[in-house]
Amino acid sequence: ERPATDLATEGGTVTREAALEQIAASFSAWLERWRTHGFGPLRDAWLARAWGIGERCTARLQDETVEGVFADLAPDGALRLDMADGRRRLISAGDVFFPG
């Protein structure tokens, strides 16, 4: 379980402005990385921090709900979901849920 918390509770002291400046600077750096090198470096960094790789999950799509194992991200950012029948589905849009 991952209970919600906040910076003040954890002893942090930061103003909204300072937090926003840091977020904007980080976003700007990642945007420049994407413009210069494409999606690959963003994908790699996201996967290095991702929770749930190799875990079962449910993807709720517009017209169906599918279950499988979160395998990876495709080069275009689609979720690669390994299905029970051995197929791999690419999920480009939907809500993904992990049990627990």
Q: What domains are there in the chain, each with its CATH number?
A: 47-97 (2.30.30.100)
d(CA 37, CA 27) in angstroms, rounded, equals 15
User: Tell me: the pLDDT tens digits for 49-77?
Assistant: 998 999 999 999 999 999 999 999 999 99
User: Tell me: the pLDDT tens digits for 1-60?
Assistant: 678 988 888 888 888 899 999 999 999 999 999 999 999 999 999 999 998 999 999 999
d(CA 85, CA 23) in angstroms, rounded, equals 42
Q: How confident is the model at residue 1, as a pLDDT?
A: 66
Q: What number of other Cβ atoms are within 10 A of residue 14's Cβ?
A: 12
To 10 degrees, what angle do helices 40-49 and 16-37 make?
130
The yes-or-no verdict on residue 100 having pLDDT over 80 is no
Q: How confident is the model at residue 12, as a pLDDT?
A: 85
Q: Position 19: which residue type? A: A
Instruction: Dig out the tokens for 80 from the structure.
Output: 């690669």
